[in-house]
Amino acid sequence: MMLNLKELFRHQNRAARQEAMRNLMTTTMKEGTPVREHILKSMAHLNEIEVLGGEIDGETQVDIILQTLPKSFEQFRLNYNMNKRLYSLAKLLTELQAAEELFRQSFQVHIAEKVSTSKSKGKKKKKPAGLAKTVNEP
């Protein structure tokens, strides 16, 4: 009887697992959204795949998630690959949040610099009233 039940539900599991895999592979993080939400959503998809009998090793899980990040995390990916980092999903989340905070601070400094330089460019020096243009007379 158990064998019959397993056989009956195996096909439903396969379809559900494929749907969970499709959800994971089509999930991309939008620029400007919090990385924490995206990683937790991706981890939920990975957990669902595992519950449904799918097996994805930890390093591949991290690789999949890294590919779903926007261009602003390109330097993070490069650092990860160049330094041959190995992260668990929890450690990846922590590192990505730290990187996101650095991006935010860098962006705020950049904006502050831009605002201060644009203020100084906006002020034009006035010529003294006594200096008029001289015209060459023939």
pLDDT score, position 111: 60
Q: Assess if residue 32 is contained within a domain.
A: yes
Q: Assess if residue 109 is contained within a domain.
A: no
Q: Assess if residue 116 is contained within a domain.
A: no
pLDDT score, position 55: 92
pLDDT score, position 126: 56
Q: In total, how many domains does the chain have?
A: 1
Neighbour-count burial of 50, counting CB atoms closer than 10 A to its CB (0-12 exposed, 13-18 middle, 19+ buried): middle
Q: Assess if residue 111 is contained within a domain.
A: no
Give the three-class secondary structure for 53. coil
pLDDT score, position 9: 58
pLDDT score, position 99: 93
Radius of gyration of the chain (CA): 28
Count Cα atoms within 13 angstroms, Cβ side, for 112. 6
pLDDT score, position 79: 94
Compute mean pLDDT per 10 residues along the chain, 138 residues long, and list them: 60 84 93 94 94 92 95 93 94 95 72 60 55 52
What are the contacts of 94-100 at 24+ separation with CB within 8 A?
96/35, 96/39, 96/69, 97/35, 97/36, 99/35, 99/73, 100/34, 100/35
